[in-house]
Each structure stands twice: as C-alpha cells, then as structure tokens.
Amino acid sequence: MRFSANLGFLWNDRPLPDAIHAAKAAGFDAVECHWPYDIPAEDVRAALDATGLPMLGLNTSRGDVAGGENGLAALPGRTDDARAAIDQAIAYAGIVDAGAIHVMCGFANGPKAHATFIENLRYVCAATTRRILIEPLNRHDAPGYFLQTTDQARAIVAEVNAPNLKLMFDCYHVGRTEGDILTRITDLGDLIGHIQFASVPDRGAPDHGELDYTTIFAALKDWPHPLGAEYKPVGDTDATLGWMQRYRYR
C-alpha cells in the first residue's frame, strides 16, 4: 500500500513546508493539504522538490470561516466569490503541481444551490485539466453541507458530464452516514478520483474504531494511487503512525 499524508491534520502544528519534510521522514509516499494559501506556493514547491513527494490535492477556500462558511461553490448569489476561490486554487495548484482540486460547496440546499454548484463545477472543469473532486461530508460533522451522500455526488458528476470531475471518497465520512464501505467503493468504481481514511467515529488513526481497515486496505491493494491519511492525531503525529508499518506491506 502507498499512503499520502493529509497535512491539514498531520503535523499541522508546523509550517506547511516543514510538514512536507516530516511526511517524507515518516515514510509517506505523497502529501495533500487543505487550504495552503497563507504559505507562498513557491515555498511549498521547494519543499516538494526537495523531498520528491507529489502534492495530490488541495481545497478551494472555505470563504468567511469566522462567519460560518465552509465553501462557496453552491451558494446562490456568491458566484463571483466562488469563482475567485476556484481561480485561486487553479493558480496555486499550477505552481505546486497539485494533482487535484477539491471544490467545496458550502452550507446550502434546494434547487438554486444545486444549479449554482453545477454551473461552478462546469466553470472549473473547463478552466483546468487537473482532476476536480467533490466530497460528501457527513451530517454529524457538517450539518447543512450541500453535498451529503455518494448518490448525490454521482448524480452531480453525471449532470456536469466533464471527464475530469470525480468523487473524493472519504471512508470516514461515508462510514459515518452510509456505511458498507467496500460495497460503495465497488459500486462507484471509476467515479472515484481519490480515497481518504480515518477511524469511525472519532476520526483518529485507522488502528481502532468501527471500520476494519485490514479488510478495507486489502480490498484496495490494486488502487493505483496513494490513499489519503486524513485523520486527527491525538498528540504528536509521529507517535500515531504505527498503523502505517502495519498496513504498508500487507
């Protein structure tokens, strides 16, 4: 198995370039991040070049976090802001050569939100050849988030009908709301562009909880990309990495 360190959670007490070096030292095969925009992209690219790690992906801006926003792309009346965030992500991804951009839709509902999200996804899919990802967030952690299920995501991918639009399948989020992880992965097939994982229900390391990652990782042994470790470590990140050696060579 190959693994990617999500630096939104892992080593997030360090500047992003330092976290990239920590991921390399720990044996990760790639990195990904959430919102790197406070760090000059050239500094991140230098750390990636120094370590040889690829940047698998980054997120579009959440918007006004203090005001409760968690993405912009499905918010009616906020198209200019959403597209500014998309353009920002495309530019940053170009410098760091990020493989994918996760477009965050935000808290919204109803037909206008759906139409807004579709049009913004068509905009970003036409603006870049990079993989574009959408991710359902579970209703416990993100109540009111527009995209909540893999079936909803599947329908949106079909409606947009762009070859670079894919689903980000987070085992944690799907496990919290839908369950039956392996059946869902098989059913969604080529729609999946990236897979992330964490324990359920506490979003910790994958060595405990309701999901059996021995079985899940065995089923994903032929997945061609690194799997994204997007979990919240308790204490020092390095002290939580025993799972990686346990699963890497299975």
Name the residues annotated as catalytic.
Answer: 135, 230
Q: Which among 191, 240, 181 is positioned nearest to 215, based on CA atoms?
A: 181
Q: How far apart are the first and last CA of the chain?
A: 7
Q: Is residue 163 reached through a cis peptide bond, with omega within 30 degrees of 0 on the bond before it?
A: no
Going through 7-130 in order, the beta strands assigned E by DSSP cover 30-32, 57-59, 100-102
SS3 188: helix
CA distances to 31, 93, 141 from 100, in Å: 12, 8, 23
